[in-house]
A and B are shown apart, each in its own frame.
Chain A
Amino acid sequence: MKIRRMMGQALRGLNRNRLRTFFMMTGIAVGITVLTVVLSAGMGARERIMERVRVFGLENMMVWAGGSTDQTRMGGGSEEGSTVTATMKMEDAEAIRAQVQGVREVAPFFRGGQAEVRWRDRTFTAPVFGVTPEWADVWDWYVDRGSFISYEDNEIMARTAAIGPTVVRELFGDEDPMGEIIQVGGVPFEITGIMLEKGASAGGGDMDNRVFVPLSTYMRRVANVDYLSGIRVQVQGIRDMEPAAADIAALLQERHNIAPGVPDDFRVTTPTEVTSMVEEMQGTFNLFLILVAGIALVVGGVVVANIMLLSVSERRGEIGLRKAVGGKARHIQGQFLAESVAVTFLGGVGGVLLGMAGNLIMERVTGTPALVTWHVLAAGIVFSSVVGLLAGFYPARKAAAMAPVDALR
């Protein structure tokens, strides 16, 4: 019998038993819906993390002052969990720039943590960064209006500031902040630049709430320190990342006189570390996903197998008749198998559609976007069809093995 004819018979068989068909489809659709939602949410989460890695910059590394902790940071994060030391100096940044191969840009910075920023009677607590002009290049993050912190600002220890859009909104509302004087930790600064919107940082925080001032001004006039918080280093290409990171570590160990076996007083964080952390998380997540999807599909498969068995014993008369008029065992087996696969295929399509609807609801509720790719759709439909094949195998064989005379009785 031709495949097309067999499928036709299968679809008619399903149509004749609509309630049973509905139950089987529901059993599978629920499983596939779960699969779709979980898979999409997982891909969405992964995409979000990778997006943060991209924000961090694939050609950038962070050299932090302070010994290593278990916490891997992706730049711009908090100081929690680290020990800040006073050993990282401006000269270290110069040495990295001069001596390490493959380095394109070096941006030393000091961040004093949260400081109170005041304009007239309004205050806003913002992270304040002392930076050099390279900062803008290594973050690929420039001013919207005015100008960023310049070399000259650093040379003359100017009291200029570039502020993020969040600061503008919080302090100035609709008023124009350009040229206004703000107090940062009690020291007056003139606003000379307004940053473009950057969005969330790799760590997930708002990056637009920052205040940037010249590094030298901040170190001497506000914080009164002679050391850096860290140095952001941009390499020429992704291939330069690992060797440059190793060279920087070696250089700093030498400059800081760190003997072998003694813990470093700095940390180098590269995107490779971050991505490998993401991969690790992804592995755990995938395991969970396989478990959830597996359970859902096994349950669906058991439902289908049960109802197919019921269907076979209830349709003995039809099976007997088909055999009496010349149907062979393989025709009967093929028909029931085709019914099982057709019902799970359709259930799979339904489940994928329901899952996509579920994703939309999830997005509305949690605000985190789910990522629906063709992989998800294909996985749903392929898995459901395979389940149909497995679940239908035994019932179909049972139907095919019925003696016509028994089936007709």
Chain B
Amino acid sequence: MEQPLIQARDLTRVYQKDGTMGVQALKGVSLEIGKGEFVALVGASGSGKSTLMNLLGCLDRPTSGNVVLDGREVSGLDEDDLAEVRSRTIGFVFQSFNLLPRTSALENVELPLLYTDRSDLAGPARAALQVVGFPADRVDHHPGELSGGQQQRVAIARALVNDPEILFADEPTGNLDSQSSEEIMALFAELNRQGRTVVVVTHDAEVAAYAQRVITMQDGRIVSDEKNPSAPEARP
């Protein structure tokens, strides 16, 4: 069997607060995600889904347990090596877009390239904007001049610009109207069809419906992990 792209074993994460008893956000989570999957992590607020995404996405380190990404154990890496992994392997999309203000769409997309040794920034950035269907005549506009849907497309282009294996999205439609939400989710589905592994964290059932596999979390544990029969056509 092909090795899974993401392999997590017995992950726990305790948030220490003011020296008191810590809050255990994850209580031993194991899962595997294969190449090319489209996974939705769902659950109520506080269920631990965002914590899990942060650990899988190398933004945070587990209190115990380990994560293997693409065959590489990442739990023991130092900050700089984790930054390297994030740069090469992972793209993030956030609920609030996290675009730099007063900075053009193009420059926002160029940002991840600054931390690589690439010398051409504009070329890949334009290409990524094209992939996400961002209008070419607006690449010089600042986020403040763009609609929510357009801003999220810029954020997705930024996540794609380093051509990562995995795309993580944390409530990507949380700040969008229903029309834009549908367009953005359709874009994720399309990117997945092109071979990209996509992990979306959401509490919205309509968003989860786009995924082929829905992992439900509750109280720091996975309570269900099911194939989604209503999902759009999976990759052949």
Q: Per-position contact with B for A311-323: 1 when CB-CB < 8 Å, else 0?
A: 0000001101111
Residue from B59, B80, B116 within 8 A of A324 (CB atoms): B59
B54 located at the interface, meaning its Cβ lies under 8 Å from any Cβ of chain A in the complex: yes
Chain B residues near A324: list those with CB within 8 A: 57, 59, 86, 92
B79 located at the interface, meaning its Cβ lies under 8 Å from any Cβ of chain A in the complex: yes
Chain A residues near B114: list those with CB within 8 A: 1, 5, 9, 327, 331
Which residues of B in the span 72-125 have a Cβ within 8 Å of any Cβ on A? 79-80, 83-84, 86-88, 92, 94, 98, 100-103, 107, 111-112, 114-116
B84 touching A405 by the CB < 8 A rule?
no
Chain B residues near A120: list those with CB within 8 A: none
A405 touching B54 by the CB < 8 A rule?
yes
Residue among B84, B115, B116 with max Cβ neighbours from chain A (10 Å):
B115
A328 located at the interface, meaning its Cβ lies under 8 Å from any Cβ of chain B in the complex: yes
A325 touching B59 by the CB < 8 A rule?
no
A328 CA to B58 CA in the complex, in Å? Answer: 13
Question: Which residue of B is nearest A315, CB measured?
Answer: B100
A325 touching B86 by the CB < 8 A rule?
yes
Residue from B54, B60, B87, B103 within 8 A of A325 (CB atoms): B87
Residue from B57, B60, B102, B112 within 8 A of A15 (CB atoms): B102
A328 CA to B102 CA in the complex, in Å? Answer: 23
B100 touching A408 by the CB < 8 A rule?
no
A404 located at the interface, meaning its Cβ lies under 8 Å from any Cβ of chain B in the complex: yes
- A318/B92 contact (C-beta < 8 A), A325-B115, A326-B115, A328-B83 known: no
B162 located at the interface, meaning its Cβ lies under 8 Å from any Cβ of chain A in the complex: yes
A104 located at the interface, meaning its Cβ lies under 8 Å from any Cβ of chain B in the complex: no
- A326/B59 contact (C-beta < 8 A), A5-B114, A331-B115 known: no
B49 located at the interface, meaning its Cβ lies under 8 Å from any Cβ of chain A in the complex: no
A405 touching B83 by the CB < 8 A rule?
no
Chain A residues near B162: list those with CB within 8 A: 325-326
Report whether over half of chain A's contact residues are helix, strand or loop; otherwise say mixed: helix
Which residues of A in the span 1-17 have a Cβ within 8 Å of any Cβ on B? 1, 5, 9, 12, 15-16
A213 located at the interface, meaning its Cβ lies under 8 Å from any Cβ of chain B in the complex: no
Question: What is the distance, in angstroms, from B23's C-beta to the closest C-beta of chain A?
Answer: 14
B103 touching A405 by the CB < 8 A rule?
no
B158 located at the interface, meaning its Cβ lies under 8 Å from any Cβ of chain A in the complex: yes
A403 located at the interface, meaning its Cβ lies under 8 Å from any Cβ of chain B in the complex: yes
A320 CA to B112 CA in the complex, in Å? Answer: 12
Chain A residues near B158: list those with CB within 8 A: 325
A149 CA to B99 CA in the complex, in Å? Answer: 88
Chain B residues near A327: list those with CB within 8 A: 83, 114-115
A16 touching B101 by the CB < 8 A rule?
yes
Residue among A5, A323, A408 with max Cβ neighbours from chain B (10 Å):
A408
Question: What is the distance, in angstroms, from B225's C-beta to the closest C-beta of chain A?
Answer: 24
A318 touching B79 by the CB < 8 A rule?
no
A29 located at the interface, meaning its Cβ lies under 8 Å from any Cβ of chain B in the complex: no
A403 CA to B103 CA in the complex, in Å? Answer: 24
A324 CA to B112 CA in the complex, in Å? Answer: 9
Question: What is the distance, in angstroms, from A28's C-beta to the closest C-beta of chain B?
Answer: 23
A227 CA to B115 CA in the complex, in Å? Answer: 89
A329 CA to B115 CA in the complex, in Å? Answer: 11
Q: Per-position contact with B for A383-409: 1 when CB-CB < 8 Å, else 0?
A: 000000000000000000001110010
Residue from A1, A317, A320 within 8 A of B115 (CB atoms): A1
Chain A residues near B80: list those with CB within 8 A: 328-329
Residue from A1, A12, A328 within 8 A of B103 (CB atoms): A12
A363 CA to B61 CA in the complex, in Å? Answer: 65
- A408/B115 contact (C-beta < 8 A), A321-B98, A325-B92 known: no
Chain A residues near B92: list those with CB within 8 A: 324-325
A322 CA to B108 CA in the complex, in Å? Answer: 11
B100 touching A318 by the CB < 8 A rule?
yes
A57 CA to B10 CA in the complex, in Å? Answer: 92
- A408/B59 contact (C-beta < 8 A), A9-B114, A16-B103, A321-B98 known: yes
A328 touching B79 by the CB < 8 A rule?
yes
A9 CA to B100 CA in the complex, in Å? Answer: 11
A318 CA to B102 CA in the complex, in Å? Answer: 13
A403 touching B60 by the CB < 8 A rule?
yes
A327 CA to B60 CA in the complex, in Å? Answer: 14
A325 CA to B111 CA in the complex, in Å? Answer: 8
A162 CA to B183 CA in the complex, in Å? Answer: 102
Question: What is the distance, in angstroms, from A273's C-beta to the closest C-beta of chain B?
Answer: 64
Question: Which residue of B is nearest A320, CB measured?
Answer: B98
A to B CB contacts below 8 Å, 25 in the list: A5-B114, A15-B102, A16-B102, A320-B98, A321-B100, A321-B111, A322-B111, A323-B86, A324-B92, A326-B86, A326-B87, A326-B115, A326-B116, A327-B114, A327-B115, A328-B79, A328-B83, A328-B84, A329-B79, A329-B83, A331-B114, A404-B59, A405-B54, A405-B59, A408-B98
